[in-house]
Amino acid sequence: ILNVEQSPQSLHVQEGDSTNFTCSFPSSNFYALHWYRWETAKSPEALFVMTLNGDEKKKGRISATLNTKEGYSYLYIKGSQPEDSATYLCAGGPASNTGKLIFGQGTTLQVKP
């Protein structure tokens, strides 16, 4: 079974701060890594899907990197804004290619104005 761990569990930052979270997974059993943003009272929304070692993806002020050899992904938010407040979920797809994703517990970000 693929175990996906996220850290920290929660984070409080000031508006304008840059921040990053970590998602770790067993590197020996990996196929795809997803990041989702889940705002309160809304649906989780996909940010990135990465499959290749060294992948870097960017969407506005948010970017993500992937290291499949050591089994981690970082999500960076540059210049956090109050609207970035959300729970950020990562999910790993095991190499068995069954379509199942294993989700981490999430990192909840609170950005204070």
Interface ranges with another protein (CB under 8 A): 4, 31-32, 34, 36, 41-46, 49, 51, 89, 91, 93-94, 97-106
Q: Which amino acid is at 50?
A: M
* Least distance (Å) between residue 61 CB and another protein: 20
DSSP 16-83: T--EEEEEE--TTS-SEEEEEEE-TTS--EEEEEE-STT-EEEETTEEEEEETTTTEEEEEESS--GG
Of 31 and 74, the one with the shorter C-beta distance to another protein is: 31
Of 19 and 37, the one with the shorter C-beta distance to another protein is: 37
Of 17 and 108, the one with the shorter C-beta distance to another protein is: 108
